[in-house]
């Protein structure tokens, strides 16, 4: 599962770094990075990121029972997808 988690981290971090670059910014991606609060992504871009992760890794996370403020932090988002991968998708 660690390999999947590492791949998720790289994929999501790369997406965030590209988004920052499009806005003329440089971002250091850490577990505590608040994706929406740092204005790296707006809400639609965040949803697009979720869909990209789901498609790339064939994972689906039910976010309806999660605190959105928490899963918009990089580390928590990676953990949510990694936990789903650990359950077999």
Contacts of 81-85 spanning 24+ positions with Cβ under 8 A: 81/8, 81/53, 81/57, 82/1, 82/4, 82/5, 82/8, 84/59, 84/60, 85/1, 85/4, 85/5, 85/8, 85/57, 85/59
CA angle at 85 for the pair 79 and 89, rounded to the nearest 5°: 130
6-53 residue pLDDT tens: 999 999 999 999 999 999 999 999 999 999 987 889 999 999 999 999
| Class of the CATH-defined domain 2-86 | mainly alpha
| pLDDT score of 89 more than 50 | no
| Domain residue spans of the chain | 2-86
pLDDT value, residue 72:
93
Q: Which helix (H) or strand (E) holds 41?
A: none
């Amino acid at each position: 599962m660690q390999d999947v988690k590492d791949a998720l981290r790289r994929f999501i971090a790369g997406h965030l770094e590209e988004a920052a670059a499009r806005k003329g910014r440089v971002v250091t991606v850490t577990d505590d990075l608040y994706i929406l609060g740092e204005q790296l992504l707006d809400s639609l871009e965040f949803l697009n990121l979720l869909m990209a992760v789901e498609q790339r890794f064939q994972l689906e996370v039910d976010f309806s029972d999660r605190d959105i403020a928490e899963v918009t932090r990089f580390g928590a988002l990676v953990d949510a997808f990694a936990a789903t991968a650990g359950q077999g998708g």
